[in-house]
Amino acid sequence: MLCLSPHGFYRMAYAEWPGPERRRPIVCVHGLTRNGRDFDRLAAALAHDCRVVSPDMPGRGKSQWLEHEADYAYPTYIGACAALIARLGVDEVDWVGTSMGGIVGMFLAALPGTPIRRLVLNDIGAFIPADGLRRLATYVGADPSFADPAALEADLRRVAAPFGQLSDADWHHLAAISARRKPDGTLGYAYDPRIGAGLRQAEPQDVDLWATWDAITVPTLVLRGAESDILRAADARAMTGRGPRARLVEFPGVGHAPALMDEAQIAHVRGFLGA
């Protein structure tokens, strides 16, 4: 689909699981370096009852890379998701957002007349500590090259170890959807390395989104990896007592962010959305 950035139009890809007709869509939006295919397992489960749509945000997956790196910013992402909702031709959607995708969901849910009916935030919240952002800055936007899929998967297992105890099949899947072929024939990650420019250009600072959180009124579920350095335990608990007074579920042995690939994690999302 065609979207508009501050410097021109670009094309954004999205995957769709049709589900039953005339059921509200569920929009699933991925994290900073990931893409919409992260939700393949979750979407397959949800599509028994609902239509599911998952975009590759600009510069990721099969979506077009932006000409200006400064356009990799939340105004662009919010505009892209608003355009996607308009394309779906509906007045109301449910939202599942991991990390960056959750921040986009919070911004949209806090606006007057929001189309979001229910909001699921996967390991992101109203306060993001600088220490967690510093860790992300060590690898976000890196552009390593790999000789073969096995080498890429090995690196992904290292970088994404906080996702938790995934099966070999899970890692194979994540590696396959994370790869792009470079002009020299090697493999790289399926994103524009410039998406990390904002994190690297200045020393990371705490991000305070409490004003946005307090403006949200829709029912909200917060999922947290118990070892997360992006959504701290105290901040997650505070989110249950103000704003939308979210329901909180924590997953032991997981950091940032739960992969939403196993049955237990998927069950929490399905139950909350009524899917």
What the chain holds in terms of domains, given with CATH numbers, is: 2-126+209-273 (3.40.50.1820)
Question: What is the biggest distance separating any 2 CA atoms in the chain, rounded to whole angstroms?
Answer: 53
Query: Given this model, what pLDDT does residue 275 score?
Result: 65
Residue type, 150: A
For 220-258, what is each residue's pLDDT tens digit?
999 999 999 999 999 999 999 999 999 999 999 999 999
Query: Given this model, what pLDDT does residue 39 score?
Result: 98
Residue 113, classified by CB atoms within 10 Å of its CB into exposed (0-12), middle (13-18) or buried (19+), is exposed
- Sign for the CA dihedral angle at 134, 140, 142, 145 comes to positive
Residue 16, classified by CB atoms within 10 Å of its CB into exposed (0-12), middle (13-18) or buried (19+), is middle
Is 275 strand, coil or helix? coil
Query: Given this model, what pLDDT does residue 78 score?
Result: 98
Low-confidence ranges of the chain (pLDDT < 70): 275
For 161-175, what is each residue's pLDDT tens digit?
999 999 999 999 999
Is 30 strand, coil or helix? coil
DSSP codes joined into one string, 188-257? EESB-GGGGHHHHSS----EE-HHHHHT--S-EEEEEETT-SSS-HHHHHHHTSSTT--EEEEETT--S-
Spell out the alpha helix ranges (H) of 19-129. 40-46, 74-88, 100-109
